[in-house]
Amino acid sequence: MTMDDLADKFINYLVVEKGLSKNTITCYSADLVLYLKFLRANNISDIVDADTTVILKHLIDLRDVGLAPKSRARHLVTLRGFYRFLVNEKILKTNPAQMVDLPKAGRKLPNVLKLDEVIQLMGAPDPSKPLGLRDAAMLELMYAAGLRVSELIKVRLVNINLEACFVLVLGKGSKERVVPIGQAAKKKIDAYLESGRPNLLKGRPSPYLFVTRSAMPMTRQGFWKLLKQYALKIGLSHKITPHALRHSFATHLLEGGADLRSVQVMLGHVDISTTQIYTHVAQEKLKAVHTKYHPRG
């Protein structure tokens, strides 16, 4: 069944079973036409290939052409309903639109940091202290590779290749992906490995890249705490979360001109081939995209 067929089936469902007004049906139809046009423009012909990142990019584009927050919110409501319908019809397993926040008046979509805020945050830790070196490396790596906090704390020494500037990430469902990192992250991690980490471990072994004074791996709660600490230090007035750095990574790349598919792969939203040749090609392409478009690449 084509995407147009699915959209028609959804609209028919709204008319027959939901009994929505003519004006509401017209709005829903217009939103879906616009969305399907966007998917085709990004070479997506199957609805199963459109994930949260795709929806996010679409809403960013709507914002950039001047669509008001209220109109974007209605558009997202349409997409949520459409995807919920597809889940109920057993066409999809999950609703990718459910993960996207509704835009509010006066608030940017998505909730991301401005580039100057990122720069301030990256410079907040004290590099003269072992913990400062660790925290700087953690913040830089999270933003450089768009990691989830759960992925960041699981990075092991064997997962990081500073010579090639790649990190092997263990994502959801134990799926692995290789993500390039820029020179800024490489320098921060180099400095941490040279003096920060040895000072924290004091000769004790640990397979994890980021450790505490007790030689234990960093925890989600520990990272949350230090992130809030540094946000307060630089005077960030709005709420900041670990996921905001991941959103910032994706948004800054997309706004810089990176192609949607490359960002999807780096975020871990699409499968990566297990064949060695394809992985090599993908890594080289991702590294080129990251270096060209990432603000700190």
CB atoms within 10 A of CB 84: 15
For residue 89, what are the contacts with CB-CB under 8 A and spacing of at least 6? 9
Catalytic residue among 70, 104, 238, 278: 278
- Please answer whether residues 279 and 178 qualify as being in contact, where contact means their C-beta atoms are separated by less than 8 angstroms: yes
Give 161's strand partners: 166
Catalytic residue among 269, 287, 290, 296: 269
Active site residue 238: no
Catalytic residue among 177, 246, 290, 296: 246
CA pair distance 9, 29, nearest whole angstrom: 11
Active site residue 13: no
Tokens representing residue 5 in the block: 């067929």
CA pair distance 112, 65, nearest whole angstrom: 18
160: phi then psi, degrees, rounded to nearest 5: -110, 130
Catalytic residue among 129, 172, 220, 280: 172
Active site residue 172: yes
Q: Using omega within 30 degrees of 0 as the cis cutoff, is the peptide bond preceding 205 cis?
A: no
Give 160's strand partners: 167
- Please answer whether residues 128 and 185 qualify as being in contact, where contact means their C-beta atoms are separated by less than 8 angstroms: no
Active site residue 148: yes
The pairing of beta strand 160-161 with beta strand 176-180: unpaired
- Please answer whether residues 78 and 27 qualify as being in contact, where contact means their C-beta atoms are separated by less than 8 angstroms: yes
CA pair distance 52, 100, nearest whole angstrom: 7
Catalytic residue among 148, 154, 290, 294: 148
218 dihedral zone (left: phi>0; alpha: psi -120 to 50; beta): beta
CA pair distance 166, 144, nearest whole angstrom: 10
- Please answer whether residues 121 and 233 qualify as being in contact, where contact means their C-beta atoms are separated by less than 8 angstroms: no
CA pair distance 296, 64, nearest whole angstrom: 23
Active site residues: 148, 172, 243, 246, 269, 278
